[in-house]
A and B are shown apart, each in its own frame.
Chain A
Amino acid sequence: MSPRARTALEPSLTQQEQLRNFCIIAHIDHGKSTLADRMLQLTGIVNDRQMRDQYLDRMDIERERGITIKSQAVRLPWELENKTFALNMIDTPGHVDFTYEVSRSLAACEGAVLLVDAAQGIEAQTLANLYLAMENDLEIIPVLNKIDLPAAQPEKYAEELANLIGGDPADCLRVSGKTGDGVAELLDRIVERVPAPSGNPDAPARAMIFDSVYDSYRGVVTYVRMIDGRLSPREQIQMMSTRAVHELLEIGVISPEPTVTKGLAAGEVGYLITGVKDVRQSKVGDTVTTKSKPATEALKGYSEPNPMVYSGIYPIDGSDYPNLREALDKLRLSDASLVYEPETSAALGFGFRCGFLGLLHLEIITERLEREFNLSLIATAPSVVYEVTREDNTEFTVTNPSEFPEGKIKSVKEPIVKATILSPKDYVGTIMELCQSRRGTMIDMQYLGEDRVQLRYQLPLAEIVFDFFDQLKSKTQGYASLDYEDDGYLPGDLVKVDLLLQGEKVDAFSSIVHRDKAYAQGTRITGKLRELIPRQQFEVPIQAAIGSRIIARESIRAIRKDVLAKCYGGDISRKRKLLEKQKEGKKRMKMVGRVEVPQEAFIAALSSDESSKSEKKK
């Protein structure tokens, strides 16, 4: 392929009329990365020899899980009707946990390509991001991808898209990221339809941070969209939220490798390097200005990351605690939304209570801790954040069930989400049943096309955190998709279920559940523990309790003998080796009072179900 644009426009000198900033909104496997690959080739910034699949997805973990966690911005040269343009393609994260990041990426664009698989139609996630883009007044360019597939139904889904965004189904572009069909037309369409930026080039500099990535060699790399004014190398820049001043060591654009430039002008997209080592000093959503000529007003839309889900993370081997701390400290440099503080559990020892944006975030972090830092970990059951008020009006924020206050409780409030579920109409009944069983309230239901339905529910976040997504997927043969957004707090009839071994409360097994479900939860955990804890030399009663009231009980019968009948000459070496093995096995047990509890029991009893480890990606 040969580039259509013979000369690329020089960054920092490009006029706003020649710029187009856009993002691609797509569901996970609808082919965004493949389409981006074709764009890189077609615009000539990556030649065929350099090309590799999913060029822009750098981290291993992203590539393996098919998830783009970190967005990037690529500057693409393009020519239409003898005029040269610079297109900035801003990648957006594709998961519900990262809604805030998505909103900042969208705010950096004037247009969005709505990319939908022509064989599958739109998914809940895409719909949520589409609504977000429409709220940001982005120009939407509907595109059906994978039209080369035999199962493609472009007419059907063009109709669906037209219904969603208005307009004529005929305007819907049809492309194949795989073959490259229609990609040039798409680039033309972007130039024609996406508005040019319209900032004030002469005003004090204002740049919005839409991503911030830690690089072990360069420190933090900050991705910005210039709104007003310009930034130049060696300038002193200022973060408007913290007033912190940094020296601008490097400024440039990505095309698709980092390229140093003489600056960034209004409307342009690029990166900054200041030598800071922690992404917290360069926060997504913050406004960058210059120290010499500071802007007076920050750009709108900045907010601090807010953990939705908490989990206790403990090393299986207690002596790994310092390593876990070090690993978290390192991960924190690249993840501004990861929060943690030391926590002690009577059962699990020393660990950290960690806050996450959502379940996927939790899984990614624990996976990275285990993989990149070679740690073996126990993650306790994820918990949401409860607001508890006692009768004496003292208030508590509870992120760990074992910290649920004792005494008379006046009210417990739990986080609520507004969930959007898209599904073929055949599964509506099943989905309603599931949402009902998870304490959901229906908001509305509407048909998107002749056989696809959008259901909106208000649901407690805690119910989603459990295994809702797995259940939804399995009950709909994988056809339903889910998205949710924060919808405040509501009071609920919630109680803490404790678990007692030999009458002693075991903090790591406490959970907060709705009163109606407490009995089932108690029965489930006691039953599971009865299977997982080996017989001891005494009977071990296992009880589940709300306060002092026992709601479920099991018992592990005492073992009656533990001795090998025969031990003569030939048995001695074997028996000694067995003893060595048993010593090792004993090391993997946690003593809870006098009871030896195997590590697996903590993991198994605390995880929601067998299915909880299955993929959560959407």
Chain B
Amino acid sequence: MGSALPLGLAWPESNLIPPLFGTESSFHVYVHIPFCEVRCGYCDFNTYTAKEIGSVSQEDFHRAIIAEIEWSAKILSKSGYPARSISTLFFGGGTPSLFSGNQLKAIMDALQENFSFESDAEVTLEANPESTTPGYLEELHSVGINRLSMGVQSFDPSVLKTLERVHRPELVAPLVTAAKDLGLATSVDLIYGAPKETMESWKETLGQAIELGTGHVSAYSLIVEPGTKLARQIKSGELPETDDDLDADKHKLADSMLSDAGLSWYEVSNWGEPSRHNQAYWRSSDWWGYGPGAHSHVSGNRFWNLKHPLTYQQAVASKAPVAGIEHIDSRTRLEEKLMLELRTKEGVATSLLDSLQISDKAIDDFVERDLLQRDGNVVSVTAKGRLFVDRTVLDLLTI
């Protein structure tokens, strides 16, 4: 989650967020755990090392989240939403694996009490290899977590060093094996395009990830966010610039190797058995994000929490922990859906394009340029088009 929050309106005094686009959506939960042992050089996420937070205690922080859960249940009910059980839950961060099994259990109990889980709910936790042990995995399993997303990033020690990741690559394989043995679904997160990373290094990383037998891989090109240590290192010349053209080749390599290994592409940066939680984002479903800086979307209401754990913790005890809210109008909703759905294998319905007054003729042009393809009532990106989604969306909306 990026650190720069968009500006919005103030949270309404009425504490009501009436549905703008019905209440039919499934319901999803994100929990943000804002702690890390160290901050990595490329990271601009809303995360804090113990030294940065002051009076906030990591051991107690789940209480603040539980308070927000209880508050949110009241808000939703008062705003006219029916009781909806949770389809997916995602613990992200930060480093969620810094929370103990008991803390996670307390949060899940509160969610169960206030919303209840669907019987087949997907419950994912992001884990860093260095803060995870086989014993910890057992705890996760016993509290009901059924999917593990491993922040591996790379198997090349020199790349990990550039990224300032502290783990040793050989920690990963035993953890993934242990998780699989416990029956957890597993995902491996990779980052390509770090300064100095070669094509060979990336190929090696992909190969090792595939070796693990994981059911899901996310592979992101590194984004150098302004204000990060990495950005300063590049600016000062200490590290070379990233190379967009090389990244394009790395994306293609990832696609071919992962597909060959049976992990098929389904979103710009994702392969394998789809994460139902992430699909909720791309399908404009409803979710509540708990914790500092977390974003929520409930039927056209997009809002986001106060960023700093301390201010968040104080606010949640007395009033709304929300920093800002925006209400999406119908046109914006359509544009958002185009922007998000075109990223996925499912693509967009032609009815959505009609509503946006994008003509068949306009689509033909993109088909001709091998950026889009048609299949019945669906338009989706081609293999080439995956790398130009943002541009295609801009062009479709400015014809």
Footprint of B on A, CB under 8 Å?
537, 557, 559-577, 579, 582-583, 586-587
How distant is B264 from chain A, measured CB to nearest CB, in Å? 18
Contacting pair A560 B248 (CB below 8 A): yes
Most chain A Cβ neighbours within 10 Å, of B248, B294, B388, B390 = B390
The CA of A402 and the CA of B8, in the complex, are separated in Å by 51
User: A561's contact among B220, B293, B332, B387, by CB below 8 Å, is which?
Assistant: B387
User: A570's contact among B294, B336, B371, B398, by CB below 8 Å, is which?
Assistant: B294
Chain A residue contacts of B376, Cβ below 8 A: none
User: B335's contact among A559, A567, A579, by CB below 8 Å, is which?
Assistant: A579
Chain B residue contacts of A564, Cβ below 8 A: 223, 390
The CA of A570 and the CA of B297, in the complex, are separated in Å by 9
0/1 string, B310-347, CB within 8 A of A gives 1: 00000000000000001000001001100110010000
Question: Is B229 positioned at the interface, with any CB of A under 8 Å from its CB?
Answer: no
The CA of A577 and the CA of B248, in the complex, are separated in Å by 25
Question: Is B117 positioned at the interface, with any CB of A under 8 Å from its CB?
Answer: no
Contacting pair B391 A562 (CB below 8 A): yes
The CA of A302 and the CA of B66, in the complex, are separated in Å by 93
Chain A residue contacts of B398, Cβ below 8 A: 583, 586-587
Given contacts A560-B387, A586-B394, contact A566 B339 (CB under 8 A): no
Question: Is B74 positioned at the interface, with any CB of A under 8 Å from its CB?
Answer: no
How distant is B190 from chain A, measured CB to nearest CB, in Å? 11
The 8 closest A-B pairs by CB, nearest first: A560-B248, A561-B387, A570-B1, A562-B391, A570-B295, A565-B220, A573-B6, A561-B248
0/1 string, B363-399, CB within 8 A of A gives 1: 0000001010000000000000011111101100110
Contacting pair B268 A567 (CB below 8 A): yes
Chain B residue contacts of A572, Cβ below 8 A: 281, 295, 297, 302, 336, 340
How distant is A532 from chain B, measured CB to nearest CB, in Å? 19
Chain A residue contacts of B251, Cβ below 8 A: 561
Given contacts A568-B1, A569-B281, A575-B339, contact A563 B386 (CB under 8 A): yes
User: A573's contact among B30, B289, B294, B302, by CB below 8 Å, is which?
Assistant: B302
How distant is A143 from chain B, measured CB to nearest CB, in Å? 60
How distant is B52 from chain A, measured CB to nearest CB, in Å? 20
Question: Is B4 positioned at the interface, with any CB of A under 8 Å from its CB?
Answer: yes
**Could you list 15 A-B pairs, sorted by A, with CB under 8 Å?**
A560-B249, A561-B388, A562-B391, A565-B268, A565-B269, A566-B269, A567-B282, A568-B278, A569-B1, A569-B295, A572-B281, A574-B2, A579-B390, A579-B393, A583-B397
Residue of A nearest to B246 (CB): A560
Contacting pair A537 B388 (CB below 8 A): yes
Given contacts A537-B369, A570-B304, contact A561 B294 (CB under 8 A): no
Question: Is B221 positioned at the interface, with any CB of A under 8 Å from its CB?
Answer: yes
The CA of A434 and the CA of B302, in the complex, are separated in Å by 65
How distant is A493 from chain B, measured CB to nearest CB, in Å? 44
How distant is A540 from chain B, measured CB to nearest CB, in Å? 15
Contacting pair A561 B247 (CB below 8 A): yes
Contacting pair B302 A565 (CB below 8 A): no
The CA of A577 and the CA of B2, in the complex, are separated in Å by 14
How distant is A584 from chain B, measured CB to nearest CB, in Å? 10
Contacting pair B339 A563 (CB below 8 A): no
Question: Is B200 positioned at the interface, with any CB of A under 8 Å from its CB?
Answer: no
Footprint of A on B, CB under 8 Å?
1-2, 4, 6, 8, 30, 220-221, 223, 244-245, 247-249, 251, 268-269, 278, 281-282, 287, 289, 293-297, 302, 304, 326, 332, 335-336, 339-340, 343, 369, 371, 386-391, 393-394, 397-398
User: A576's contact among B278, B332, B369, by CB below 8 Å, is which?
Assistant: B332
Most chain B Cβ neighbours within 10 Å, of A537, A560, A564, A571 = A560
The CA of A569 and the CA of B278, in the complex, are separated in Å by 8
Most chain B Cβ neighbours within 10 Å, of A557, A560, A561, A574 = A561
The CA of A565 and the CA of B8, in the complex, are separated in Å by 25
The CA of A29 and the CA of B187, in the complex, are separated in Å by 76
Chain B residue contacts of A559, Cβ below 8 A: 244
User: A560's contact among B223, B244, B296, B397, by CB below 8 Å, is which?
Assistant: B244
How distant is A589 from chain B, measured CB to nearest CB, in Å? 10
Residue of A nearest to B385 (CB): A563
13 more CB-based (< 8 A) A-B contacts, given A569-B297, A570-B295, A570-B304: A537-B388, A559-B244, A563-B386, A565-B221, A567-B343, A568-B278, A568-B281, A571-B2, A572-B336, A575-B339, A579-B339, A583-B397, A586-B398
Residue of B nearest to A577 (CB): B6
Most chain B Cβ neighbours within 10 Å, of A537, A557, A561, A569 = A569
Chain A residue contacts of B269, Cβ below 8 A: 565-566
The CA of A359 and the CA of B304, in the complex, are separated in Å by 57
Chain A residue contacts of B278, Cβ below 8 A: 568
Residue of B nearest to A560 (CB): B248
Contacting pair A563 B388 (CB below 8 A): yes
The CA of A562 and the CA of B371, in the complex, are separated in Å by 12
User: B340's contact among A557, A563, A566, A567, by CB below 8 Å, is which?
Assistant: A567
Residue of A nearest to B371 (CB): A537
The CA of A579 and the CA of B297, in the complex, are separated in Å by 19
Chain B residue contacts of A562, Cβ below 8 A: 387-391
The CA of A574 and the CA of B44, in the complex, are separated in Å by 14
Contacting pair B397 A563 (CB below 8 A): no
Given contacts A562-B391, A563-B386, contact A576 B335 (CB under 8 A): yes
How distant is B279 from chain A, measured CB to nearest CB, in Å? 11
The CA of A562 and the CA of B281, in the complex, are separated in Å by 21
How distant is B342 from chain A, measured CB to nearest CB, in Å? 10
The CA of A500 and the CA of B390, in the complex, are separated in Å by 28
Contacting pair B394 A582 (CB below 8 A): yes
User: A579's contact among B244, B326, B394, by CB below 8 Å, is which?
Assistant: B394
The CA of A51 and the CA of B369, in the complex, are separated in Å by 72
How distant is A163 from chain B, measured CB to nearest CB, in Å? 61
Contacting pair B281 A561 (CB below 8 A): no
The CA of A566 and the CA of B30, in the complex, are separated in Å by 16
The CA of A479 and the CA of B219, in the complex, are separated in Å by 64
Chain A residue contacts of B389, Cβ below 8 A: 562-563
Most chain B Cβ neighbours within 10 Å, of A537, A557, A567 = A567
Chain A residue contacts of B386, Cβ below 8 A: 563
The CA of A438 and the CA of B326, in the complex, are separated in Å by 62
The CA of A560 and the CA of B391, in the complex, are separated in Å by 11
Contacting pair A537 B248 (CB below 8 A): no
Chain A residue contacts of B293, Cβ below 8 A: 570
Chain A residue contacts of B4, Cβ below 8 A: 574
How distant is A198 from chain B, measured CB to nearest CB, in Å? 73
The CA of A126 and the CA of B221, in the complex, are separated in Å by 66
The CA of A567 and the CA of B221, in the complex, are separated in Å by 12
Contacting pair B289 A570 (CB below 8 A): yes
Chain B residue contacts of A570, Cβ below 8 A: 1-2, 289, 293-295, 304
The CA of A579 and the CA of B391, in the complex, are separated in Å by 9
Contacting pair B220 A574 (CB below 8 A): no
Chain A residue contacts of B336, Cβ below 8 A: 572, 576
The CA of A452 and the CA of B8, in the complex, are separated in Å by 69
Chain A residue contacts of B2, Cβ below 8 A: 570-571, 574
The CA of A187 and the CA of B21, in the complex, are separated in Å by 87
Residue of A nearest to B393 (CB): A579
Contacting pair A563 B387 (CB below 8 A): yes
Contacting pair A563 B297 (CB below 8 A): no
The CA of A570 and the CA of B268, in the complex, are separated in Å by 17
Chain A residue contacts of B220, Cβ below 8 A: 565-566
The CA of A563 and the CA of B295, in the complex, are separated in Å by 22
User: A569's contact among B30, B245, B343, by CB below 8 Å, is which?
Assistant: B30
How distant is A267 from chain B, measured CB to nearest CB, in Å? 69
The CA of A576 and the CA of B369, in the complex, are separated in Å by 25
How distant is B302 from chain A, measured CB to nearest CB, in Å? 6
Residue of B nearest to A587 (CB): B398
Chain B residue contacts of A586, Cβ below 8 A: 394, 398
Contacting pair A563 B394 (CB below 8 A): no
The CA of A568 and the CA of B92, in the complex, are separated in Å by 11
Contacting pair A583 B394 (CB below 8 A): yes
Chain B residue contacts of A560, Cβ below 8 A: 244-245, 247-249, 387
Residue of B nearest to A589 (CB): B398
Most chain A Cβ neighbours within 10 Å, of B6, B220, B289, B296 = B6
